[in-house]
Structure 1
């Protein structure tokens, strides 16, 4: 019960910080005369999705993710290093590497993408976009790739929780167009510039810049794309949700469409192939149009 209360406290405390930052950005955008940065209905949907995600995720971490972590821990190296600058830095870097792998798989495996597509379906880039998450993440299983390697090494679960939450807090501040290039930091750290590319849906932008805090993973594994080389960035996904302002639909439509494809084609490979595989394997298959795209077609 104490872990659940801690999770709810975290949601409340950082939720207040995030809302304050969103309000400040919105005020700055309005005062500077910028348009097309915030869309009222989309922003409300982002906030609603973020709230439901964090509540479910916080309770899931408290109720079963940490319990599974402790169960796996007993079979690992049980390193459990003492707290020091070096061990904390090692944990931060290792957790970010695990996030890179987890994030990469969320883009490459349809099952995982069905939950992650929510985050990419926003057509605007602002701080509220960071909260556009999916409450099904805790049940998709991809968190195993992020949490469990640390259990096998032997990091304390409480320190791992702090490292993961800190990683997510850092990523919140990547979702903005108000911060341009950050000089030498661009070489090592993930920045708003790098993350804008990640949210793009044009060919040069898809499946790029998966890092959380650090960008050198992408440079090391060949998934990096500089914003200057990415062309004009178009936010969103190729198959937009049909109800783009309905928070519940935003979080379940990926799963529904995946299940429909499996049922239609009787092909379980759809579950683990990359998201566009079904369209390549069955070229006459088409996804439904979103409300906005459908209006453009008329």
Structure 2
């Protein structure tokens, strides 16, 4: 019960911070005379998707993710370091590395992408886009790649929860066009500039800049692309959702299309191949490749 209360506290506290940031960005862009940054129906859909995601994820963390963490913990190194500057920094960096792996796999494996596609399915970039998440994340299994390596090393589960939540809070502030380059920080940290590339759907932008807090993972593993070298960024995905303002549809259409492809082609390899593999293999996608309707601007 205590873990459930902690989850609800995170939802409430950070929800208020995120809403304040969204409101501030909207007022700032209006004051600067910028229109088309926020779109009413899409913003509502993003907020609804984010709320459902965080409620389900928080309960999942409280009910079974941390329980599985503790079960795995007994088979690991059980390091359990005392709180120090070194151990805290080690945890932050390690959790970000695990996020990089998790995030990379969400783009490379159709099963994981079916949930993650929601986050990439907006044609716009603002703070509300950060909340465009999918409540099925807790059931997709990709969280194992993010949580469980820390259990094997032996970090305390409460430390890991704080590190993961902190990682997500940091990433929220990457979703904006109002912050341009950040100088020397661009070399080490993931920044709005780097993350704009990640949300692009043109060839030079797809599957780039997977880092959470740090960008050096991408530079180390060859997935980095500087915004200046990425060309004009077109936000969205190759197959845009047919109902861009329906939060339930936004969170389920990827899974529906996955099931349709598997059923149509009777090929279970589609589950673990990359997202475009079925189209490339069979040349007959089960989903309609049409652009989303243009959102009204405010």
Q: TM-score, normalised by structure 2?
A: 0.97
Unaligned runs of 5+ in 2: none
Aligned-pair RMSD on alpha carbons? 1.1
In the alignment, what sits opposite 2:81? 81
Native 8 Å contact 2:239 2:291 kept in 1? no
Aligned mates of 1:292, 1:120 — CA distance in 2:
13
Aligned mates of 2:268, 2:293 — CA distance in 1:
29
Native 8 Å contact 1:244 1:290 kept in 2? no
In the alignment, what sits opposite 1:60? 60
Which deviates further from its counterpart, 35-44 or 79-88? 35-44
Between the two structures, name the one with larger relative contact order (CA 8 Å, sep ≥ 6). 2
**Cα shift readout 1:143-191 (whole Å, capped 9, x = no counterpart):** 0000000000000000000000000000000000000000000000000
In the alignment, what sits opposite 2:199? 199
Query: Is 1:36–2:56 an aligned residue pair?
Result: no
Runs of 4 or more consecutive aligned structure 1 residues displaced over 2 Å after TM superposition: 284-287, 289-294
- Give SS of 1:113's match: helix
Shift of 1:291: 6.7
**Cα shift readout 1:255-277 (whole Å, capped 9, x = no counterpart):** 00000000000000000000000
The 5 Å alignment of 1:1-298 reads: 1-285=1-285, 287-290=287-290, 292=292
Q: TM-score, normalised by structure 1?
A: 0.97
Aligned mates of 2:248, 2:286 — CA distance in 1:
23
- Give SS of 2:242's match: coil
Unaligned runs of 5+ in 1: none
Native 8 Å contact 2:97 2:217 kept in 1? yes
